[in-house]
Each structure stands twice: as C-alpha cells, then as structure tokens.
Amino acid sequence: MSKMNLAMLCDFYEFTMANGYFKNGMYKKNVYFDVFFRKVPDDGGFAITAGLEQVIDYLKNLRFYEEDIEYLRSKGIFDEEFLAYLRDFRFTGDVYAIPEGTPVFPNEPVLTVKAPAIEAQLIETFVLLCLNHQSLIATKANRIVRAAQGRAVIEFGSRRAQGASGAVVGARAAYIGGCVGTACTLTDELYGVPAGGTMAHSWVQMFDNEYEAFKTFVELYPDNPTLLVDTYNTLKSGVPNAIKVFKEVLLPMGKTRCAIRLDSGDISYLSKKARKMLDDEGLTDCKITASNALDEKLIRDLMMQGAQVDTFGVGERLITSQSSPVFGGVYKLVAVENDAGEIEPKIKVSENTAKIPVPHFKKVYRYYDNESGKALADELCVFDEVVDDSKNHIIFDPNATWKTKELYNFTARELMKPIFQNGVCVYQSPSIQEIADYCREQVDLLWDEVKRFENPHSYYVDISERLYEIRSILLSVHKM
C-alpha cells in the first residue's frame, strides 16, 4: 500500500454496522452522537480539550480509494452496492464542538456530530483518537505548568512518546496546555510550536575535556546558549567550566544571556549551589534549567524546597501522561431523526449509573459570576433552549432527583461552536498561539479550589429542567 488512508483507521465493526445500515435503508437517517468523558485524568478538577484541528482536517479529506474498497471486498462480507457507495463517500454532516484550550468537565459534550448514520458511525474511532490523546496531554501539561508557578516548562518527550504521531501532536497539545516550547522540530515546522534545545551528554563526551566542549558550543551559538553541566561532576567541574566559558567568550561580546542545565542528582540542592556559584561570579542573568523524569508533583516539591530553577524540561511523564495514561472519552448515540424530521432522544441504560449518558441533541452553557468573573457552573440544555441571564436560574443535578442549584447575577455563554454545516467547514481554526493564550485565560477563570491537585472542588455540571424531565421519562420507559 502506497499511503496510509486515515479513513480506514476505524474499528472493523464500524464497517459491518455501516454495511448493515446501508442494506436496511437506515443509512440516510440523521443521527446525533456526543463525545464526552466520565473522569478527569489524575483525579483532577478539570480537563483541557484539544485535538479539534486534526478532526477538522480528517473530515475535510475523508474518502475511500480503490485499494481500500478492494481490501473490504476481500473480506467477503460486504454488499457490492455498499462498496460502490463508499467510492463516492464524503462527510456531509454537521459538527459542533467546544473550542480547543477550553477547560471541560465530565459528562458534558465536547463535540457533537449530526450526520447520516453511516457517516457518523465511520468517523467514531478517529474522532475519539484525536480528542482523547491531545486532551490527555494538554490536561497533563496544564497541571505541570501550574505546578511550576510561573517558571517556563518545555516539552522534552519525543523519544519516549507512543509513536511519531504521539510525539508530534502530543507536543502541540502540550503547548496548548501551557508549555512554552518543545524539543520536537517537526511540531515547530508543522504547527509553529517554538522548538529549541541544549546539547546531549554525547556532545561533551566527544571532546577531550568538558571545557573544550563548552567553549566550542558557546562560540558556535553565542546567543543564549545552554550548557549541560552534569556529564562528569556538576559542582566540581560542570558549573565551574560553564562559568569560565561564559566569562571568556560571552562577556567580551557584551552578551549576558545564557543558561546551564541540570539533568541528574538532587535538583533542589544542586540548583541552589549552582545559583550561588553563578551569582558570585557576576552571572546573575544566567538561568538554570532542570530535567530528568519530572512531573507536577516533583516540580511542586522542588518549588516548596526553594529550588533555584528557571525552566523545567519535562519529557516522558508529560508526553505519555504516565500517571494517568488514558483519557476516557466516549462516543454515544443521543438522538435520531424520525421520518418527519423530528429529533427523538435516545438513551443507553446501564446498571452502572455513571455510564448512563445525558440524551438528546444539546447545547452547553457556562455561567460566569458578574462580580468576580469566575465560572460558576455549566448546564446542559436541549438544543433549542435559551437561557435568560437577566433572571435567577435553577439547574438540576442529573444524578440526584432532589438536588438543584440556583444562580443569580450571572452571564450565560454558549460553549459549543458550529464547526461543519452540511459537510462544509464553517470554523476558522485559531493559530496555535491564540489557542494557548485562550487556554491560559479560561483556566484563570476557574476558582482556585477547582484547580487543586488533590481533592479538587467538584465543579457543577448539571442539566436543565426540561432535559431532566426527558431523561427521567426515557429511564422510566427503559427501566430494567
């Protein structure tokens, strides 16, 4: 096969269902699917949505080629008319989504697809793949960045990522979550995420001594060079040799911007010692970068210990979200249009109540306190409901028949934006910098209690009274 076609990146049962829909005439029926998740990674208070741009590119280019159709024919189970239908297949549906970089919460739709049954079914795997992976990494990056308390965080994880795509779009997601750059050159080339780096231990080892390695590097790259000082002995040779080279090469050129990197040992202790050594030699502008299997908890501890670190390079524990490596987004049918074009809500019932989704074609409102500007709650409403934020408003806890929350003095904003209409993309994707800036602004609108790493405050995500009634009726109809 000459080229991988992402249209074929789907679970095989999506093709068998699509073939069935075609044969029984249901393939033209419009259906509604929601993408949502049930649990925040690392038991955090919120997640960051990312990956929409890749979903858009996928849907724009979705089609099947002759070699794909020949493969399906070779399975011996697909109808020839269905295979002929795939030959002219294009996405013709609607998509609504919460923009990338938005803090999101369990059980609310991050993306909704309205499309003919076959189209909606065949895109399930790739849509989930994009949103699950990048939302996971953006969420982890945001935790790490918040732990760093204003110190810069750079994504360093390409060589430990799960495959090339995991490295490239993972670095993109990390930037959305708050990292200032990446070590991945391809992510810079494709998406404009600033790429940078220092040197490896192998550079130092290639020279007869550490001093010559440092001197050569600084002469080659005199504009803000970073020297890796732990190849041999950090405090006895690494830092002293870095100081010597900076003073001999950079200062005569009038340059003071430079840095050292610590990649092993006790980062807190070494950074304090190194900071004093640099300052005593007048190199107060020299920054200290730290790496070596860091995550938000280690960084938080370093900050509590007064570590003198200006920049953190975070690799494997970020790019794989090692402590919580799965973002459990799901793709569930929530409504079907009948022959009259009316939307009929659908529900999946489970003995595990946490797995019962909210039915119907919905919109999501976020309510902001007019005094503080902070986000108060999110509410899921039926698609044609309109909230009047000039009046007090009651929202219902979908998991407790008796619990409500009253809001007052608030502003209501719809979160979901139209992305595709009748198969045409109507959304202008922001630049990666605009998404990252937007993410930072939106996270700042959350209460600090929601942003705690341990036992965060549960943010309210409730449903409208009308949606509550619809859900209750469907549950009673399907009562086991």
- Tens of pLDDT, residue by residue over 296-316, are 999 999 999 999 999 999 999
- With a CB cutoff of 8 Å and minimum separation 6, the contacts of 431 are 192
Same domain, 276 and 153: yes
Task: List 211's β-bridge partners, or say none.
Answer: none
Residue 397 lies in a domain: no
Residue 101 backbone class (left: φ over 0; alpha: ψ -120 to 50; beta: rest)? left
Rounded to whole angstroms, how far apart are CA atoms 75 and 97?
35
pLDDT tens for 205-240 read 999 999 999 999 999 999 999 999 999 999 999 999
Same domain, 194 and 342: no
Q: Which of 449, 376, 451 is nearest to 149 (CA)?
A: 451
User: Which phi and psi (to 5°) does residue 382 adopt?
Assistant: -65, 150
- List the CATH number of the domain containing 250: 3.20.20.70
What pLDDT was estimated at residue 1? 47
Give, rounded to a whole angstrom, the gap between the first and last alpha carbons of the chain.
Answer: 49
Same domain, 230 and 205: yes
Same domain, 151 and 274: yes
Indicate the pLDDT class of residue 480, thresholds 50, 70 and 90.
low
User: Which phi and psi (to 5°) does residue 307 adopt?
Assistant: -60, 140
Same domain, 133 and 206: no
Boundary (domain end) residue, out of 319, 351, 383? 319
Same domain, 268 and 246: yes
What pLDDT was estimated at residue 401? 56
Residue 92 lies in a domain: yes
Boundary (domain end) residue, out of 269, 295, 319? 319
In this structure, are residues 109 and 380 in contact, taking their beta carbons and an 8 Å threshold?
yes
Q: Assign 33 to helix, strand or coil.
A: strand
Q: Assign 344 to helix, strand or coil.
A: strand
Residue 264 lies in a domain: yes
Residue 408, token pair as written in the block: 């007052």
Same domain, 182 and 148: yes
Q: Give 439's Cβ-side CA count (13 Å radius).
A: 31
Residue 312 lies in a domain: yes
Burial class (CB in 10 A: 0-12, 13-18, 19+), 342: exposed
**The model's pTM:** 0.95
Rg (CA), the chain: 26
What pLDDT was estimated at residue 371? 94
Number of domains composing the chain: 2
Structural domain containing residue 15: 6-137+325-360+417-459
Q: Which of 127, 126, 94, 119 is nearest to 27 (CA)?
A: 119
**How far from 117 is each of 27, 279, 347, 365, CA to CA, in Å?**
5, 66, 16, 27
Residue 426 lies in a domain: yes
User: Which phi and psi (to 5°) does residue 439 adopt?
Assistant: -60, -50
Determine which helix (DSSP H) or strand (DSSP E) holds 81, and give its type and residue range. helix 80-87
